[in-house]
Amino acid sequence: MGLISRMGAMIEARVSMLIDGFQSPGEALDYSYRRQLDLSYKIKKGIAGVVTAKRRLEMQRKSLEDDVKRLDRDARDAMAAGRENLAEIAIQHKVEKSGQIRSLGEQIDALKSEQERLIEMSRKLESRIETFRTRKESIKAQYSAAEAKVRIKEATSGLGKELDYIGYAVRLAEDKTRDMQARSEALDELEEQGAIEDIAGSRDVVERELTKVRGEEAVKAEMEKLRTSAKQ
């Protein structure tokens, strides 16, 4: 299994754990996406570091190559001047610097390989991140739709009973309204026929008669008391 594959497996495992720790899958996916972007940034930063190191070694190698050329000229000039000892010293420095150049070349080649490996890794990771981003947005949209559907169902779960109660209340109000309208119409009809005034008048006559009877009975009672007192 390659490094990218291992990284992908690790990311998927972490996403699975994160989903359980967040309130919604969307939050977990966004967090995982940010982590992948951070990893991509670190790889690119690593590439930049490798390129910088390689460039520094190349500059150092170029300087040594210039030194080798200069030492080669110095050795030739010394030999031409009959200064073999100086020529030998120049050659020794030349050989030493040539060895350093070979060592730097090996290091530069290694850095080139590392740079190519990191660039390929970055390219594959970018592709995976883009695929993940597309899936992430799709999953978030599906989750939001499902969540909204659940909320609607939860909100309307008791709607049937509520509507039944509302219907009953409306019917009761309509019945009472019809009763009140019927009473109002009946009173209007009685008033038009004069029945209401007759009833009121009849009540007044009855009240007067009752008052008269009560008065007569009171008089009789008082007279009876007087008669009884007179006999004594």
108-132 tens-digit pLDDT: 999 999 999 999 999 999 999 999 9
Tokens standing for residue 156 = 């309307």
Contacts of 80 (CB under 8 A, 6+ apart): none
> Residue 140, class by beta-carbon neighbours within 10 Å (0-12 exposed, 13-18 middle, 19+ buried)?
middle
Q: By three-state DSSP, how is residue 24 classified?
A: coil
Per-residue model confidence as pLDDT tens digits over 216-228: 776 677 667 666 6
- Of residues 125 and 15, more confidence is placed in 125
pLDDT of residue 202: 52
- DSSP string of 147-201, one letter each residue: HHHHHHHHHHTTHHHHHHHHHHHHHHHHHHHHHHHHHHHHHHHHHHHTHHHHHHH
Contacts of 119 (CB under 8 A, 6+ apart): 47
Q: How far apart are CA 120 and CA 7, in angstroms?
A: 14
If you average pLDDT over residues 2-23, what whole number do you get? 56
Tokens standing for residue 210 = 């009752």
pLDDT of residue 32: 86
Q: What confidence tier does 163 reach under pLDDT thresholds 50, 70, 90?
A: low
Report yes or no: 140 and 29 within 8 Å, Cβ to Cβ.
Answer: yes
Lowest-confidence range among 21-30, 51-60, 106-115? 21-30
Q: How far apart are CA 87 and CA 70, in angstroms?
A: 12
Quick one: residue 22, left, alpha or beta (phi over 0 = left, psi -120 to 50 = alpha)? beta
Q: How far apart are CA 41 and CA 126, in angstroms?
A: 10
Tokens standing for residue 222 = 């008082």
Q: Which DSSP category does 22 fall into?
A: S
Q: Where are the beta strands (DSSP E) in the chain?
A: none
pLDDT of residue 227: 66
